[in-house]
């Protein structure tokens, strides 16, 4: 009579009772396996651990994306241009001298028609120097030191002598800048200084020739 009772237990129709050790404690916040707890009503079932973690990661990602959007897309934010280095500042100073010499040579040419061809060549040289010394438009550095070549008032009698003095001063200034630069900038400034020294020689020769003619 004991055998049929054992068969009835193994093939019983009702659900097997859940062992007490397999049930989550009453204060548990989630289930480790993510499977709903059949022992709790549907309204009291807590989310699984994986669901809670996924929800936290999603919310954190949304906050980061929103924050990045605010920072990147904020209007009115301007990036300050980099400060010019020693080479850029030196080139700008020498270029300012070229501007002054160009103005002086142009005025001298108007006052001395006999020397207009020579003075036009001198002016063209200074125009080319200023263009070569400066970077492309829109990126010119703000040099704090102005050019050393003064632009004095001139007359027909003293135009050549005034230009020769300004050329000599500017040539010395360009040569002094070589101590602050190197490489391509140094080669360019050396070329400008040599050109200005050549102008001094040409203008001095014209002055000498004019003095001999006057005698």
Domain of 173: which CATH number?
A: 1.20.1260
Q: Is residue 38 part of a domain?
A: no
Mean pLDDT on 147-173:
87
54 has pLDDT over 80: no
Q: Taking CA 179 as the corner, what is the angle to CA 193 and CA 182, rounded to the nearest 5 degrees?
A: 85
How large a percentage of the chain has pLDDT more than 70? 56
With 70 as the cut, is the pLDDT of residue 113 above it? yes
Q: Where are the alpha helices (H) located in the chain, listed in sequence order?
A: 2-10, 49-73, 86-111, 116-133, 159-177, 183-214
Instruction: Report pLDDT for 154.
Output: 93
Question: How far is Cα 105 from Cα 79, in angstroms, rounded to an integer?
Answer: 41
Asked if residue 105 belongs to a domain, the reply is: yes
Residue 170 lies in a domain: yes
Which tens digit of pLDDT belongs to each residue from 84-102? 899 999 999 999 999 999 9
Q: How many domains does the chain have?
A: 1
User: Could you list the residue range(s) of the whole structural domain that residue 192 is in?
Assistant: 86-136+146-214
Token readout for 156 is: 């027909």
pLDDT, mean of residues 132-152: 61
Q: Which residues of 76-87 are buried (b: 16+ CB within 10 A; e: fewer)?
A: eeeeeeeebeeb
With a cut of 90, say whether residue 47 has pLDDT above it: no
Report pTM: 0.59
Instruction: Please give the radius of gyration of the chain, using alpha carbons only, rounded to the nearest integer.
Output: 44
Residue 203 belongs to a domain = yes
Residue 18 lies in a domain: no
Question: What are the residues whose beta carbons fall under 8 Å from the beta carbon of 172, sequence distance 6 or more?
Answer: 193
Would you say the C-alpha torsion 69, 71, 72, 75 has a positive or negative sign?
A: positive
With beta carbons less than 8 A apart as the criterion, state whether 148 and 173 touch.
yes
Quote the pLDDT of residue 22.
52
Q: Which range, of 70-79, 82-91, 191-200, averages the lowest pLDDT?
A: 70-79
Does residue 131 lie in a domain region?
Answer: yes
Q: Please report whether residue 12 resides in a domain.
A: no
Evaluate if residue 109 carries a pLDDT over 50.
yes
Q: If you average pLDDT over each of 48-52, 65-69, 161-165, 209-213, which comes out highest?
A: 161-165
Mean pLDDT, range 34-54, rounded to an integer: 55
What pLDDT, on the 0 to 100 scale, is given for residue 111?
A: 96
Q: Kindly state whether residue 7 falls inside one of the protein's structural domains.
A: no
Phi and psi at residue 151, to the nearest 5°: -115, 85
Looking at residue 80, what is its pLDDT?
74
Question: Tell me, what's the pLDDT at 143?
Answer: 47
User: pLDDT at residue 8 above 60?
Assistant: no
Task: Identify the CA nearest to 170 among candidates 103, 85, 109.
Answer: 103
Nearest to 91 by CA among 183, 202, 1, 162: 183
């Amino acid at each position: 009579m004991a055998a049929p009772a054992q068969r009835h237990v193994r093939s019983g129709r009702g659900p097997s009772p859940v062992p007490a050790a397999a049930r989550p404690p009453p204060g548990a916040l989630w289930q480790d396996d993510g499977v709903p707890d059949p022992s709790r009503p549907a309204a009291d079932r807590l989310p699984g651990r994986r669901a809670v973690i996924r929800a936290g990661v999603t919310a954190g990602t949304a906050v980061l994306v929103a924050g990045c959007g605010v920072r990147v897309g904020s209007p009115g934010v301007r990036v300050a241009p980099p400060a010019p280095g020693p080479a850029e500042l030196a080139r700008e100073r020498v270029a300012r001298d070229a501007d002054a010499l160009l103005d002086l040579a142009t005025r001298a040419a108007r006052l001395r028609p006999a020397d207009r061809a020579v003075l036009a060549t001198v002016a063209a040289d200074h125009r080319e120097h200023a263009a070569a010394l400066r970077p492309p438009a829109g990126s010119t550095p703000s040099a704090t030191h102005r050019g050393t070549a003064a632009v004095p008032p001139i007359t027909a009698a003293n135009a050549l002598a005034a230009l020769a003095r300004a050329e000599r001063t500017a040539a010395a200034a360009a040569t002094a800048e070589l101590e602050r630069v190197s490489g391509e900038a140094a080669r360019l400034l050396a070329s400008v200084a040599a050109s200005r020294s050549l102008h001094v020689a040409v203008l001095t020769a014209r002055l000498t020739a004019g003095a001999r003619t006057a005698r």
